[in-house]
Copies of this chain bind each other. A is one copy, B any other.
Amino acid sequence: MSSGNSFGSIFRITSFGESHGPATGCVIDGCPAGLPFNEDILQRELDRRRPGNGGAATTRREADKGEILSGIFEGKTIGTPIAIIIRNTGQNSADYGELREIYRPGHADYGWDAKFGIRDYRGGGRSSGRETAARVAAGAVAKTLLAHYGVSIIAWTSEIGEIKAPDFESPEFSAAEIERNEIRMPNATAAEKALALISALRKEEDSTGGIVACRVSGLAAGLGEPVFNKLDAEISRGVISLGAAKGIEFGRGFDAARLKGSTNNDAPLIGETNNCGGVLGGISTGGALEFRAAFKPVPSIGREQRAADKNGAERQIKIKGRHDVCVCPRAVPVVEAMCAIVLADALLSQRCARL
């Protein structure tokens, strides 16, 4: 594998930036010419990822102002790469001095040193969740392209700890509610319970995992490439490449392992069931694309934990600074972004499938 800061093939993004370096950003290559795009559309998505004032989120304030450096002329894409940067501001490197010598539990610190022999220890450097700002910026372009072709994506927090939000099919599910609460759950009652859980965990200086669900509508049949670049394979790569993601499933997912063929098979074209989650053999069926991703608890907690120093000696550590209690609410726009980037790539790829 190459160094791996690019993703996609025809619609291809390249990301860069450490948490406490001068800037984070990305280059989006391969977006067709003629698409209306500007810094307002960009900022709307970046704002969704930005930490809020309470709830599940860290209180680190980042202006997260996106600046477009290229690729847009008179309000439209012109077929050249779109470079976007987001200056890092408000970070406090002093918080991280201790980490120069210590490998945190649940973080890539040790692996990073084993790999490169050197690392930017401030705030996780390139392993920081800050890196996802670049993904959201690229996703803003991808979503705009998809919207132009009638494809829309929504994601939401479907579970936090033991608290579950209603499924999409349930009458309790409200898409409009998602962006109204800090948890991004599609139901106000569930969101309230989740907020209470978050509050309690924050007091305990602990954190929790959760699940983000995603649903794409308006997708034509025939997208995705049949072998290694299957639609679900590429989305899996995109989503599992988020630092805290530990699992993904499509349609009935792990439950399908316990089903019979006669129960699990969807009758094609008829559309009564969608157990497959809108993808068969890696190609979109024309039904809604549906998947769920599991996120582990945020590893940065205030509680004392066992860690190790550079010499392998055990050390006790309390992670300072303000960190998210659950990554899911802020992961929602990032999951949408990764999904959008894959779909934009698949959509363009499809143009070359036939004479």
Contact = CB atoms under 8 A, between A and B. Distances in A.
A110 B208 contact: no
Contacts of A312: 269
22 contacts: A2-B9, A2-B229, A16-B27, A16-B69, A18-B70, A25-B69, A70-B126, A85-B85, A103-B268, A105-B266, A106-B280, A108-B281, A110-B269, A111-B222, A111-B283, A115-B223, A209-B259, A209-B264, A241-B282, A243-B281, A247-B249, A270-B306
A57 to B, nearest CB: 15
A335 to B, nearest CB: 14
Contacts of A2: 2, 9-10, 12, 29-30, 225, 229, 349
Interface string A75-119: 010111111010000000000000000011111111111111111
A188 interface: no
Contacts of A282: 108, 241, 243
A211 B257 contact: yes
Interface stretch (A31-39, A44-52, A58-66, A172-180): A31-39
Given A27-B14, A116-B79, A159 B257 contact: yes
Interface residues of A, number: 155
Contact of A115 (B67, B79, B105): B79
